[in-house]
Chain A
Amino acid sequence: MLQESVQDPRNGATSGGWAGGPPRVFQKGPVNVHPQRSLGSMAFTVFLHTLLIIGALIMAGPFIWMIITSLKDTSQAFSSPPSFLPNPIVWSNYPNSLQAMPFGEAYFNSIYIAIIVVVVDLLTSAMAGYAFARIRFPGRDSIFVLFLATLMIPFQLTIIPLFIIMQKLNWIDTHLALIVPACLFDAFGVFLMRQFIKGIPIELEEAAIVDGASRWTVFWRIILPLLKAPLSALGIFTFLSTWNSFFIPLIMLNTPDLFTVPLMLNQFKDQYTTQWTLVMAGSLIAVLPVLIVYIIGQRQIIQGIALTGLKS
């Protein structure tokens, strides 16, 4: 029996084992060493793929439908039953929606705000992370615990006083209200940087310190170059959350010239409610850059968010 099975592992009782339960023969010897090759298992894999493909259609469907609608004219968009392919393809929704709303300005605003926030946030987080990981100074650990404690505070709790502070600073309806708090406070970033810096061997720094290098030189020349991986993960996360942020820009900004992309899209949708072809073209314009960057760098982005996404 054993010999037979070894000669033909997919023979008789061994095949189809995994669909209805594991094969009993498994216990008896080196039979069916590749259970995934059995017929039942293949059927199961096909079944899983079918479900996953349906799922993928549901996940991608809204984006695809957005693109399809944006290439139709109004009568096609409202036809019933719906046409899945635009015929003829109408490109004019794109120039029209760009003309209807200053998306260009919104783009400029979103990009420059996100870049400043990412750069300054990475720098200040890495600096604080380095100090908490390596430098001894009075009060260090209690201040660090305070940082960790602030991670528990939902931003809705502090949003009203924050708004009043911005009013007192005369920063309402300026980009400073979005940039400065995001640049100067990132408890999670500080925590992430500290954890990574703690994992770096200390010998490198000690040698430099003995040679008379200042803390700043050590940080800038030795530590920062070693932080590429966590910095890019935090950078991606910070960029996306700044780019996509809605609540804070919504309450801080009033002037359309200052709007970021999500605010502009919100206003666009309010003004052109029933013109879905235009609104979908506008939505595509709003999401396209992020989606392109995402598709190019998806591996790093997913890993980065899985790592830092624990924050939200």
Chain B
Amino acid sequence: MPATLFDKIWDSHLVARRADGRDLIYIDRHVLHELHAPHAFEQLQKQQRPVRRPDLTFSMQDHTVATKPGRDDSTNPSGAAFLKAMREGSHRNAIRLFDIDDPEQGISHVVAPELGMVLPGATHAVPDSHASTVGGLGALAFGCGTTELAHILATQVMALRRPKRMLIRLDGRLGPHVTAKDVALRIIAELGVAGARGHVVEYAGAAVRAMPIESRMTLCNLNIEMGGRSGFVAPDESTFSWISGRPFAPQGAMWERALAHWRTLGSDEGAAFDREHVLDCSSLEPQITWGTDPSQVLGISGRVPDPSAADQSRRAAIESALAYMGLEPGMALAGLPVDRVFIGSCTNSRLPDLQAAADVVRGRHVAEGVIAMVVPGSTSVKRAAEAAGLDRVFRDAGFLWGESGCSMCAGGNGDRGEPGERCVSTTNRNFEHRQGPKVRTHLVSPATAAATALAGRIADVRHVPPGRT
């Protein structure tokens, strides 16, 4: 019977069925971060349980690290205890740690792929809801809580109920300045914040095939914002060449053997999905969220909804979102003054993201009164960006250029906006108070964020002339 790629990966990782009916799925790579792992380390220590496979486990310091140049543990005082506990727990359990001063430190979802820890057809777990970012490489990744994290450390398996399968086919070709971020926001707008609940999503179609690997990761990153259990893109030749030569990926004869296997990874012709959704990307314009959840999305030329014209069941939610965001029904977002612009996070902090923003910025200046900040997703990305001169482009334009980490995405490191500020951000959640108390967040692509920083107002990047060289 024809099988989906999800079924193939699941079945090949099925260790046993547990007494309570859950499938034990082997986890090939487990990546931890300091906001949650310390609690799991403590739990295991109390129970005197060892970490079963420290060699398949990696520790990252990302959520609480300061982004100020010259940072150390004390730069963000509230992070110090997390960093220390992570260091001690990782050391005690012989887990390789990418510490705050490591030349390869960064956001787990950025570092794991760029070092070759993530492989097609492999399973992956992170105690973070954005785990499926690495689905962009054809890996099946699950986010989990702290107790589940301890379970994986002790057993190297996750006890899961088999999710359903969804296919999202992205047809057509993206227009200029329209990115994976815009596609993902449009999908969430169409399916809703619970639209993929209980499902593993396979993203397919011509628009996905044309996407560079980093864009596929952006697409899969936002899968959780519609409640998806996981999301991935089947690997292809561009995946393989992207992974080739990365330090933790197989090398030499082993690489050839892996490659032969990876080339067989795909959903069979005629494989059945529980649900299918199709989006034609050709006419898509840059997208932006207007409200307080990632499904409240507009095309950049669109207008904010009018609650009085909305379905009764949605009226209250729209009214409350408009009030929080300081918006009037029916107004356009383009042209609205902003206070802050943030470019970074596991969604949009890889080199091509920074490149796209820099291409807009080059030779121009951030509008007066706007605080604009770029935080690379990893120290490696930062180094590569600096080698390409991108830091100069940003700094000359008046952007702050930070050390890598999660930063303003959730504000766990103290980076955040001031009450009432309007912040245009390349992150993944526009929930109330997420980027600071009363901060009004609009989610966009890096190019739109860059254009907005220059204009000091929400801008349609398609109308900005190319950057000067």
Bound pair (A, B): no
* Chain A residues with a Cβ under 8 A of chain B: none
